Amino acid sequence: MRNQPGVLIVEDEPAIAELIAINLRHNGFRPTWAMDSVSAQRELDAVLPDVVLLDWMLPGESGLTLAKRWRANPRTKAVPIIMLTARGDESDRVAGLDAGADDYIAKPFSTKELLARVRAVLRRRAPEQAGGVVSIGGLMLDSATYRVSFGANMLKLGPTEFKLLHYLMKHAERVHSRSQLLDKVWGDHVFIEERTVDVHVKRLREALGTAGHMIETVRGAGYRLTAQAAQPTSGAAPSQVGV
């Protein structure tokens, strides 16, 4: 049925892919399997899925390479990506997030956790599809058309950065702790470390360019988006402290 969310499983181990597919199918999803980067690109070119489960290690191009390419493509940049990998170190998780992944799950994992993460990234997309324009200090976000601009410049944001910016703009001037942002942006049943917030704030600032200074770090408290920093004086240092 078309109203079932489509999930593209990019995994070169048939046993793992089949187990994931069976559990997805039994829980109301439409799984599609690709075993390498070539077949994954072919599936994505044919039909955009609602979520991609992307293995890090693949024959040919790696999952990291695919994630970076899909994030750079306007057609696929908004598709949520969950990385699947046996690499569990923090540096590897950060590398996956920096490549454009929205979430990260290390093998071995439980199917319940995987399903929870898939549902979570789908929930994150819902507010983005609601209409409405928010404008603060020259920064404008249109959630109906998925466009963000600062002055005359159009900006390119990934799906998680878009949702994070949307939330911060709708609650401007308030300080939000990392745990609060996890609950409001990622969902209150998601198994994500608070460090993930720092990674996405860093990516959001970079994507915003000269508007990145509007997102301030409040030491010991969290983050705040402020219009007061929208027009920095020439040569002034940005107001935020790096994460």
Which residue segments constitute the domains of the chain, with CATH numbers given?
6-127 (3.40.50.2300), 131-229 (1.10.10.10)
Both tokens assigned to 162? 């878009």
Q: Flag the least confident range among 99-108, 161-170, 210-219, 222-231.
A: 222-231
C-beta of residue 178 within 8 angstroms of C-beta of residue 222: yes
Query: Cβ atoms within 10 A of the Cβ of 185, count?
Result: 23
Q: Considering the chain, what is the average pLDDT of its residues? A: 82
**Predicted local distance difference test score (pLDDT) of residue 47:** 85
List helix spans (H) across 99-218.
111-129, 159-170, 178-181, 195-208
pTM over 0.75: no
**Predicted local distance difference test score (pLDDT) of residue 155:** 93
Percent composition of the chain: helix, strand, coil (DSSP 3-state, to 5): 45, 20, 35
